Amino acid sequence: MNFEKSIGAHVIFFDGNYCVKGYNDSFANFFDIEEDLTGKHIDDLEMPADFADFILSGEEEIELSLNVKNRWIDVKKETINTNGALIGHFFILEDVTDQIINNQELIALNSVIGDVQDVMSMSIHFKDAEGKYHWTPETYALIDREPRLGDENNNIFDSITVQNLDNIADNRPNIDDDVYVEDFTIITESGKTKYLRGTAHNVFDDEGNFLRLIMTAQDLTKEHLQEANLKILDSLMSDSNYQLGVGSYVHEIGSDYFCISKEAVDIAELNENEDSHMQLKSLSGNFVDSDAFKKEVGKLISGELDKIDNVWEYKSPKTGQIKKLHVINSIKVVGGRIFSFGGIKDVTSEMEKQEKLKHHNMELEMLIRESNHRIKNNLNLLLRFISLEKRFNKNNPEKIIENTVGRIESFSLLHEKIYNVDNFKDINVEEYLNSLISGLYSIFGDDGSINYNSNNNELILNSEILVPLSLIITELVINSIKYGYVDYELDNKAINVSVDKFDNKLILHYSDNGKGLPKDFNPHKSIGLGWRIINSLISQLEGEYEVFNDDGMHFKLTFNI
């Protein structure tokens, strides 16, 4: 029993003869009893019969609900004994009319307007036939107002600002029991704006007499703001500056409204179970230089910056990995409300590709410069060869042309191979030498009688090494074709070339099965152009070589790489 709401006598006693021994005025007034009750027997009192039966019952503790003057009263009876002797019966009465009506109206409303809204989430208040208002704690909470004296005589909504309220006003005619539904806005005494949905309908008794006007109100502020914010998001997202195809987030400046899209949560690897406020806080805190990021946002809000549009390093809260996020953030005003709106995109992979491409382009530029320099050097070398040919074979122009063409073939083939590899450097030795020697056979008129054998084990060499090496091999092949088999009959003529790599050394083995070199031949002192070129190139490589006869000429070159 709620003593704060009790209206009944706390000192009403009936002795064993059920005569009144003590009472208070509230009890007598409640039953409209004006005479002195002291000594009166219960049978002489005009009160509801069920209450009299309640008093006369033998139960020591019992509760009863009864209807008095169209009010619902809860009565609690306690029997008091002292040392086994009956002192009397103590009664407490509580007015529960509002609660009963509210429960009844909830049931009625559920059947009448249950398709409109959830009635259990409403606040309910009513105005009775005498014009008295009955307010519930839920209604006071809805308008952020404490109960005040005299509220039963006044519409407490008049103490706040109410907008767009018409059909459910409390002065509507008491002519029908239709349910009216209306959305309206209130501004509370504390300045809060709330968006409500209200209902109103009249209740009549069985004879058609008006009993009360039941009114409800439901707070739809959250839903209203969500709908408004969705429209704002649509407006913001239509801005071409934010067509990132990625996650977005919004914060209304000066309010507790935060919103972040699922895409943004996924990109930033945030906790899906946290609210938007905590997710945005985590987002800004996980940038590697979060202080700088927050400082930029502060400048944006203060108006020092028009926009944030750059890439920030971000540490994933789930994996700890560093990724790069492209962040675009600006201030937007929509419907008088100021929003900080942003978009994020994971550009980690894209930037890695750009960095690789940048590095590749830089390397390509360097290789092109190197290649141009190498071409210039090779042309200079070729000019030197031509000059030497003119000195050694000035009376034999055909030989000058023939030898020069052979060397050009070597350079041409080398450059062709260089431009067919990705890095302009590394060349497959086997493929290159096969093409080179085949070209030399064609230039120097070999009829296919000289076989070529190689064993280069898919060796890859840098073009800087292969240029002098290929020129040495070119001179050796020219020497074998032009001198090794002259006046020397042999059924299986063969040239053998192998290039091997051991640790940091490269070894070239070259041999033919021709007639070999003269017995007194010394390549270091040879006056022939071919061997002069070979010696010059070996000197350039800082290599060592040996030449000997063994069923033909054998040549072995060793140098460091």
The three-state (H, E, C) secondary structure of 315-366, written as one string: ECCCCCCEEEEEEEEEEEEECCEEEEEEEEEECHHHHHHHHHHHHHHHHHHH
Question: Domain ends where: 195, 219, 243?
Answer: 219
Residue 5 domain-assigned? no
Residue 419, in any domain of the structure: yes
Whether 336 and 363 share a structural domain? no
Asked if residue 281 and residue 156 are part of one domain, the reply reads: no
Looking at the domain assignment, is residue 1 inside a domain?
Answer: no
Instruction: State which H helix or E strand residue 293 sits in.
Output: helix 290-302
Predicted local confidence at residue 119, as pLDDT: 44
- What separation in angstroms does the CA of 199 have from each of 105, 131, 137, 203? 12, 18, 18, 13
Shared-domain flag, residues 549 and 434: yes
Residues with Cβ within 8 Å of 199's Cβ and at least 6 positions away in sequence, in order, are 109, 113, 116, 122, 168, 179, 180, 181, 182, 215, 216
Contact between residue 34 and residue 45 where contact means Cβ atoms under 8 Å apart: no
Domain assignment present for residue 8? The answer is no
Instruction: Give the pLDDT confidence score for residue 293 in this predicted structure.
Output: 93
Sign, CA dihedral 354-355-358-364, equals negative
The pLDDT, as a whole number, for residue 323 is 94
Question: Within a domain: residue 249?
Answer: yes
In degrees, rounded to 5, the angle at the alpha carbon of residue 361 between the alpha carbons of residues 356 and 364 is 125
Q: Are residues 491 and 551 in the same domain?
A: yes
The DSSP code for 152 is G
Q: Which residue pairs from 420-423 have beta carbons closer than 8 angstroms and sit at least 24 positions apart in sequence?
A: 423/363, 423/367
Q: What is the pLDDT of residue 7?
A: 45
Is 3 part of any domain? no
Name residue 200's amino acid: A
**Model confidence, pTM:** 0.39
Strand partners, 94: 6, 74
* Residue 196 contacts residue 183 (beta carbons within 8 Å): yes
Contact call for residues 194 and 185 (beta carbons, < 8 A) = yes
Return per-residue pLDDT of the chain as tens, 561 residues: 343 444 444 445 566 666 666 666 656 666 666 666 677 776 776 666 666 676 666 665 556 555 555 566 677 777 777 776 666 776 777 766 666 655 555 555 454 444 444 444 567 777 888 888 888 888 888 888 888 888 888 888 888 888 877 656 665 556 676 778 888 888 888 888 888 888 888 888 888 888 888 888 888 887 777 676 666 666 655 554 445 457 888 888 877 777 888 888 999 999 989 888 898 889 999 999 999 999 999 999 888 998 899 999 999 999 999 999 999 888 887 767 788 888 898 999 988 998 898 887 887 777 667 667 666 766 766 777 677 677 777 777 877 777 777 777 766 766 676 666 555 567 888 888 888 888 778 777 665 678 888 877 678 888 788 888 888 998 898 888 888 888 788 888 899 999 999 889 999 999 999 999 988 889 888 878 788 888 988 998 999 999 999 999 999 999 998
CATH number for the domain that contains residue 478? 3.30.565.10
In this structure, the answer to whether residues 404 and 547 fall within a common structural domain is: yes
Shared domain check, 230 and 199 = no
Domain termination site, one of 329, 346, 363: 346
Put the strands of the sheet holding 61-68 in their side by side order.
61-68, 71-82, 85-95
Tokens describing residue 93: 């009465």
Alpha carbon distance 53, 525 (integer Å): 147
Total domains in the chain come to: 4
CATH code of the domain containing 278: 3.30.450.20
Angstrom distance (rounded) from CA 277 to CA 258: 6
Examine the fold and report which residue of 317, 346, 375 is the final residue of a domain before the chain moves on. Answer: 346
How many helical (H) and strand (E) elements, i.e. helices and strands, does the chain have? 13, 23
Same domain, 527 and 438: yes
Do 316 and 456 lie in one domain? The reply is: no
Residues 209 and 187 in one domain: yes
C-alpha to C-alpha distance for 192 and 189, rounded to whole angstroms: 7
Q: How many CA atoms lie within 13 A of 95 on its CB side?
A: 15
Please, are residues 406 and 443 in contact by the beta-carbon 8 Å criterion? Answer: yes
For residue 445, being part of any structural domain is answered with yes
Question: In this structure, are 139 and 163 located in the same domain?
Answer: yes
192 shares its domain with 228: no
Beta-ladder partners of 340: 251, 331
- Which structural domain range is residue 394 located in? 355-560
User: Is 181 a domain residue?
Assistant: yes
Pair 380, 372: CB distance under 8 Å: no
Together in a domain, 255 and 384: no
How far apart are alpha carbons 502 and 561 in whole angstroms?
A: 10
